[in-house]
Homo-oligomer: A and B are copies of this chain.
Amino acid sequence: MAEKWVFLFEEVEEAEKYVGGDWEGVRSLLGGKGANLAEMTRIGAPVPPGFTVTTEACLAYLSRGEDVAGAVLEQEREAMNRVEELTGKKFGDPQNPLLVSCRSGGKFSMPGMMDTVLNIGLNDETAQGMIALTGNERFVYDLYRRLVQMFGSVVLDLDDELFEHALDALKNRVGAKADTDLTAEHWKELTEEFKQITLSKEGCAFPQDPYEQLKLATEAVFKSWNGKRAIDYRNAAGISHDLGTGVSIQTMIFGNMGWNSGTGVTFTRDPATGERKLYGDYLLNAQGEDVVAGIRNTKPIHELEQDLPEAYKQFQEICDKLEHHYREMQDVEFTIENEKLWMLQTRDGKRTARATVKIAVDMANEGLIDRKEAVKRVKPADVDALMHPMFDPDAKSAAAVEGKLLSKGVNASPGAAVGVAAFDADLAEEWGKAGKDVIMVRPFTKPDDVHGMLASKGILTSEGGATSHAAVVARQFGVPCVCGASEVSIDGAARQFEANGQIIKEGDWVSIDGTTGEVFVGEIPTVAPEFEEQTDLLILLSWADEIRRLQVWANADYPADAERARSYGAQGIGLCRTEHMFFEEVRLPIVQRMILAKNDEDRQSALDELLPMQRSDFEGIFQSMDDLPVIIRLIDPPLHEFLPDHDEVLKTVLTKRIKQETDGLAEAEDLLAAIEGLHESNPMMGLRGVRLSIIMPGLVKMQVRAIFEAACNKAKEGVVVKPEVMIPLAGHVNELKVIQPILEDVANAVMEEKGITVEYKFGTMIEIPRAALTADEIAGIAQFFSFGTNDLTQMTFGYSRDDAEARFLLTYVEQEVLPENPFQSLDQDGVGQLMQIAVEKGRGIRPELEVGICGEHGGDPSSIAFCHKLGLNYVSCSPYRVPIARLAAAQAALK
């Protein structure tokens, strides 16, 4: 025996030794479930005895097959001997039979994605022994038919419907409404029928040998690692395909042994809000899958105190112990067999973004973890989710008054979602990929539905509770979800649902509020959530601020944006785009006059009109950012962007010519000539940015005058202004050598006129590859650098973003030609290499050089981590992403 492939739960120390003492290694080896069962065993929780087949065995089996299966079985037999010792029962012994479950469990939880077989060890003989022991024939044949059914569907890959139909047919025949109406004889009959289904469909008799059952079930779990569901899930969740699953074999405990038995699933804190209280469901006289599938309506966990007070008390204590042990909120499964509590599983609980933040903050305040750990535990995407829109409260009230409220279900995953109803996962996926906003509507969801759930804006089910499949998956992926909306009556065949007397057809608009559980017909407008009211988030971010080195600035063009950014924690404005102001209705005609001016005088007169407008914009921004730096970028885009569309003007000219209308023809022809005169084949790489400033300095001189007039005016009012003038698109140091002194002269002239001096800087964007490559020269002139990673990515890849995204970039990402869209997440290998060159060369010349990033990447967490590593001073992003960036910057510092 070359390798140890099986570890008893009690062998946790051996497993640790086997992997070299590392808990992550134990999780990799045994899978999360197996490792936690072993760990729970170690800390003395009541865990039914069992053992785990390792992920190494799984991977070996998947590559080498039958030989491995045989070797694994040998080790399973040995382990089973110890389980028999511990339980006093014996696997396959007709007198005192041991039954086991066989469950999958990878390193990372993939709920419901892989297979499980229960009640292994039952056969015609041991069933008789069980009956003799329990005196409950009905119970035993229910177990037996379940084993045959799961074996058929999981191991033999038969359609589960075959078994469900047979059950329904029997119920019809005997006039039973529910399973509970069926007698022992019925279950026995059904067990035989299930065996026949197995034999007739697969030509394979249900194996009577318990070890044969165990072997085949183990192999089936191994194989389920590579099932389509599992692969889709891992792709969506970003889990590696190379890990393999562990297989945990565990003594069966029966929650369906009568009304002093039961089973449940519980979170140690509320996974929706994070509140510190047990949150979950249980059913008396039921097996675990009854709870998870959401088929029978469950009872909330606190009612167990009435039903089985002793067990509840012990359960509470164990939950507390587990949380203290794992220092994380736990998601546990338990079963009570004849009033005795057994813990079947524990794992870190999935939760909403809101709960993630609250639990992290609470646990830090409780002393369970430190603040750094709290900051680490919240994902930037969680903060993003908290910045997401919610329904406008007034609009929601109005909708309710208008009778648009259809139902109220379980608020299973928070957030507001609006979309058209789709009644199956495939359609939801198809519509979602086509760009439609979709709400997927199902009675309940199964692992097969995940692809549709991921493509939907929201999920609505009529059945199941807060721990149902739909709820768990939705929370994990941040998709709003309302579960168990029992007034919603779905007619899958007619592809519609009825609720509150209204019929909603496929494609009709629906709005769901995952935070409250409400379901509306129609589209309800959404609003941004109040950042200031999210107390836990504010605390967490204040801790993040203590940790991070990287500053977070914001891109803001208007005073309102700047104010919002500041309220979200921005420490400066990294990019104020002066030309955005030019597009405003009253200004555009003046800008056009400036462009079309036939002489310097006309041009100057237009510029003179623009000056006070720009000045007043800047005054507002300086006011908002009192005592913080504001980087203002001089005009960047090519001038043609401010003129009317060429084809439209051409059309006007041709029409007038052909119809011989002279009225306005000359003007239209002039305009057309001007537009054609400004035409460029690749305007992105043409006359724009600093090039435009050098060819036509009047415009930027006006802008610099406006900046410094505004700065001086505000400074006189006592505002502390810190203007930084940014010259875009420099590629050669000489461009700065030419233009920067001209602009500094303007600045100094204004300060002299105003009789006041303000602190200021002149600097440049680094967005042309050549600027990065020659950053040492550039830094000789520029007092700061700001990476314009949008353009830098365009030039470094040779992609025009608009063209690339429309024509090939999405195909590239889909076909994995590119790992991701480089305009969303910084290409560290290529663009990042240029950034590193620029930082090193720039700081080599000017060690105190202020370097930041103002491209879209400034709000992307992995890009932020890279910027931290590069030693930038700040990232600048859209105001809404400032909180995310604050967290990401802290996490980068903790790495």
- Report the interface size for chain A: residues with CB under 8 A from the other chain: 56
Q: Say yes or no for A394: interface residue by CB 8 A criterion.
A: no
Number of copies: 2
Q: Say yes or no for A681: interface residue by CB 8 A criterion.
A: yes
For residue A261, give the distance in angstroms from its CB to the closest CB of chain B.
56
Report Cα–Cα, A800/B731, bound state, in Å. Answer: 13
**CB-defined interface of A548-568 with B at 8 Å, one 1/0 digit per residue?**
000000000000000000000
Q: Say yes or no for A807: interface residue by CB 8 A criterion.
A: yes
Report Cα–Cα, A817/B774, bound state, in Å. Answer: 15
Inter-subunit contact B808/A694 (CB<8 Å): yes
Checking B686, B774, B791, B796 against A800 with a beta-carbon cut-off of 8 angstroms, the contacting residue is B686
Q: Say yes or no for A811: interface residue by CB 8 A criterion.
A: yes
Inter-subunit contact A773/B796 (CB<8 Å): yes
Checking B659, B695, B803, B808 against A808 with a beta-carbon cut-off of 8 angstroms, the contacting residue is B695
Q: Quick one: closest B residue to A735, CB to CB?
A: B817
B contact residues around A816 at 8 Å (CB)? 734
Q: Quick one: closest B residue to A794, CB to CB?
A: B685
B contact residues around A827 at 8 Å (CB)? 770
* Contact status of A773 and B833, CB under 8 A, knowing A732-B818, A798-B729, A798-B795: yes
Report Cα–Cα, A831/B651, bound state, in Å. Answer: 42
B contact residues around A686 at 8 Å (CB)? 800, 803-804, 807
* Contact status of A734 and B650, CB under 8 A, knowing A683-B681, A695-B807, A774-B829: no
Inter-subunit contact B818/A798 (CB<8 Å): no
**CB-defined interface of A724-745 with B at 8 Å, one 1/0 digit per residue?**
0000010110110010000000
Q: Say yes or no for A326: interface residue by CB 8 A criterion.
A: no
* Contact status of A770 and B791, CB under 8 A, knowing A685-B685, A685-B803: no
B contact residues around A651 at 8 Å (CB)? 650, 654
**CB-defined interface of A777-806 with B at 8 Å, one 1/0 digit per residue?**
100000000000001001111111011100
Report Cα–Cα, A684/B794, bound state, in Å. Answer: 11
Q: Say yes or no for A428: interface residue by CB 8 A criterion.
A: no
Report Cα–Cα, A834/B795, bound state, in Å. Answer: 13
Most central of A658, A802, A812, A817 by chain B CB within 10 Å: A817
* Contact status of A800 and B681, CB under 8 A, knowing A769-B830, A774-B829: yes
Inter-subunit contact B798/A791 (CB<8 Å): yes
B contact residues around A650 at 8 Å (CB)? 647, 650-651, 654
Checking B647, B731, B797 against A798 with a beta-carbon cut-off of 8 angstroms, the contacting residue is B731
Checking B694, B695, B774, B796 against A770 with a beta-carbon cut-off of 8 angstroms, the contacting residue is B796
B contact residues around A796 at 8 Å (CB)? 731, 768-770, 773, 795
For residue A228, give the distance in angstroms from its CB to the closest CB of chain B.
24
Q: Which of A61-80 contact B (CB under 8 A)?
A: none
For residue A143, give the distance in angstroms from its CB to the closest CB of chain B.
52
B contact residues around A800 at 8 Å (CB)? 680-686
Inter-subunit contact B803/A694 (CB<8 Å): no
Report Cα–Cα, A834/B768, bound state, in Å. Answer: 13
Report Cα–Cα, A731/B685, bound state, in Å. Answer: 18
B contact residues around A797 at 8 Å (CB)? 731-732, 768, 770
B contact residues around A687 at 8 Å (CB)? 803-804, 807-808
Inter-subunit contact B808/A691 (CB<8 Å): yes
**CB-defined interface of A655-699 with B at 8 Å, one 1/0 digit per residue?**
100110000000000000000000011111111000100110000
Report Cα–Cα, A829/B770, bound state, in Å. Answer: 8
Checking B682, B768, B807, B818 against A803 with a beta-carbon cut-off of 8 angstroms, the contacting residue is B682
Q: Say yes or no for A240: interface residue by CB 8 A criterion.
A: no
B contact residues around A172 at 8 Å (CB)? none
B contact residues around A735 at 8 Å (CB)? 817
Most central of A680, A734, A770, A797 by chain B CB within 10 Å: A770
Q: Say yes or no for A815: interface residue by CB 8 A criterion.
A: yes
A-B contact pairs, 27 of them (CB 8 A): A647-B650, A650-B654, A654-B655, A680-B800, A680-B807, A681-B683, A681-B803, A683-B803, A686-B800, A687-B804, A694-B817, A695-B807, A695-B811, A731-B798, A731-B799, A731-B830, A732-B797, A734-B817, A769-B795, A769-B798, A770-B797, A773-B830, A774-B833, A777-B829, A791-B798, A795-B796, A795-B798
Q: A681-B802, A773-B796 are in contact. List 7 more A-B contacts (CB 8 A).
A: A654-B655, A686-B803, A687-B804, A694-B812, A769-B769, A770-B827, A773-B834
Per CB-CB distance, the 3 closest pairs between chain A and chain B, nearest first, are A682-B800, A686-B803, A770-B830
Taking beta carbons and an 8 Å cutoff, which residues of A are in contact with B?
647, 650-651, 654-655, 658-659, 680-687, 691, 694-695, 729, 731-732, 734-735, 738, 767-770, 773-774, 777, 791, 794-800, 802-804, 807-808, 811-812, 815-818, 827, 829-831, 833-834
